[in-house]
Chains A and B, each alone.
Chain A
Amino acid sequence: MSEFALFLGCTIPVRCLGYEASTRRIAEELGIKLVDLNFSCCGYPLKHVDVVTARSMAAANLALAESKGLNILTICSACSGTLTDAKFNLENDPSAEKVKKELEKQGISYKGGIWVKHFVRYLYEDYGVDRIKEHVKVPLKNLRIAIHHGCHYLRPSEIYDEFDDPEHPKSVREIVEALGATVVDYAGELDCCGGGTIAFNQKLGAALAKKKLDNVKRAGADAIVLFCPFCAIMYDGHQRFIEEQFKSGPYNIPVLFLPQLMGLAFGIDPSELGFEYNAVDVQPLLEKIGERK
């Protein structure tokens, strides 16, 4: 059994419990052991304040996993980006001297012996789409899925060893298709959810999210599938707010975390996949899957 440190970040264990629950459940199904360590914030929010401090905090988290001899799987794309960037910076950038000095001051040493990947990247790159397929018991044949990749899963591609094409990504598409669902193309597929803006300007952040909801609605998708807490908060948590703010919709687009969709295809009971935390009603979607049984 493969064993990894699960990096939850700050937002998921507080605001996206359905994501966490479904991730743990499908990991169990796939034989992936997730270990919980006392990680802190990855450092991402501190990038606004001081990039060196942010990277030092990220590196300190890497050091914690390294001390246990575990590679890290993240399920928040911002955490993925921050931890991967810190590792990339320490290994490739002369400006990392400042970070090393900050770590030294607090008696932290990071040698660079571990790797960090988003859980979805790991599933695609290491676990393998074919092996995922072996677990599918309920192919999601009549579901039309709009994939939202989010920003930090793919960009900047330089720090991610270009594991997927940042302009024409295929990793998530292959996983969703392996579940039997149809992937729906829509305009602005790679656009940002606005989550990075909303803390500073709610209306502007919401306007970004609105564009995608409009495009997904037009494309006739049954659901949006994503794998980042901030993106979920924008499309699921803010869907009603956007309708009211912009007099748009009604959208009624269920927003699922990829592990929730995988769980459904694996035949796991929906009650084990944290759907009670979805803001937009998922019942019509579950019934649509049920129709095929």
Chain B
Amino acid sequence: MGSVTFMAESETEKLVVETESLDSSFVRKILKHPGGEQILVCFQCGVCTSSCPLRLISPEYNPRRIVKEALLGMKDLVLSSDFIWFCADCNACTERCPQGVNPSEVMKAIKNIAVEEGIAPPAVKKIVENIEEHGRLYPIEDFTQEEREMLDLPEIEPDVEVFKINKKKLLGEKT
């Protein structure tokens, strides 16, 4: 039985992780996912974290730490982290990463794996539902069409289907 001592960013909090809880298949899963292919070349320089606008608001938001935890196989911790959903996808990290890790795409790969495993916030479910039903993020109400008419804007098709999606399949729900 072993354990890994992981020094947190603040150096004040010591996190002890039982090695039995680590899942080495997690990184392999990320590597296979589009966007996650370069995660192994991360050398933990922290440019992503120093570029992260959320980090400036609150030190608990830390992309470098998420990548490190993923590399260590701390699957449950990463997938249950709020940060993966709060990431604004601003791409500042991706633009500056000297290793081409593409942290904002890694974050999406991790979110996609979370959804596969049935962990999706309600906001995500609503998004998928609307797009399945209407082909759009928001349904078009009569009120909107009237407002558009007043401004001489062209009427828009309320329901469009350019590419079909299946909500149940996407959210890993049983039929």
Contact = CB atoms under 8 A, between A and B. Distances in A.
B11 to A, nearest CB: 24
Contacts of A10: 136-138
The majority secondary structure among interface residues of chain B is loop
A110 to B, nearest CB: 11
A156 B157 contact: no
Max chain A CB contacts within 10 Å: which of B90, B157, B164?
A: B90
Max chain B CB contacts within 10 Å: which of A40, A45, A195?
A: A40
A38 B157 contact: yes
Interface residues on A, range: 35 or more
Interface residues of B, number: 56
Interface stretch (A11-19, A119-127, A138-146, A281-289): A11-19
Contacts of A151: 88-92
Given A151-B89, A155-B90, A41 B153 contact: no
A213 to B, nearest CB: 14
A70 B161 CA distance: 19
B47 interface: no
Nearest to A9: B137
A41 B135 contact: yes
B78 interface: no
Interface stretch (B1-9, B14-22, B64-72, B119-127): B119-127
Nearest to B32: A95
Interface in B50-108: 53-54, 56-58, 82, 85-92, 94-95, 102, 105, 108
B109 interface: yes
A152 B161 CA distance: 25
B41 interface: no
Interface string A26-56: 0000000000101111010111111111011
Interface stretch (A174-182, A200-208, A217-225, A257-265): A200-208
B90 to A, nearest CB: 4
Contacts of B58: 204
B95 A155 contact: yes
Contacts of B171: 49
Nearest to A25: B152
A45 B82 contact: no
A40 B89 contact: no
Contact of B138 (A14, A53, A205): A14
A159 to B, nearest CB: 10
A194 B54 CA distance: 9
Contact of B160 (A20, A24, A40, A49): A40
Contacts of A11: 137-138
Contact of B162 (A39, A55, A155, A192): A39
Interface in B19-65: 33-35, 37, 53-54, 56-58
Contact of A45 (B102, B131, B162): B131
Given A106-B163, A200-B85, A207-B57, A49 B170 contact: yes
A197 B138 contact: no
B33 A51 contact: yes
A204 B54 contact: yes
A49 B156 contact: no
Contacts of B57: 204, 207-208, 211
B135 A51 contact: no
28 contacts: A17-B147, A20-B153, A21-B152, A38-B157, A38-B162, A40-B162, A40-B163, A43-B163, A45-B131, A46-B170, A50-B112, A51-B35, A53-B165, A53-B170, A55-B34, A60-B163, A89-B34, A93-B34, A95-B34, A157-B95, A167-B95, A191-B90, A191-B92, A194-B53, A196-B89, A197-B88, A200-B121, A201-B82
Interface pairs A-B: 7 shortest CB-CB:
A196-B88, A192-B90, A10-B137, A155-B91, A60-B163, A40-B135, A40-B162
Given A49-B120, A49-B171, A204-B54, 9 more contacts: A10-B136, A11-B138, A13-B153, A40-B162, A51-B108, A57-B163, A61-B163, A192-B90, A204-B58
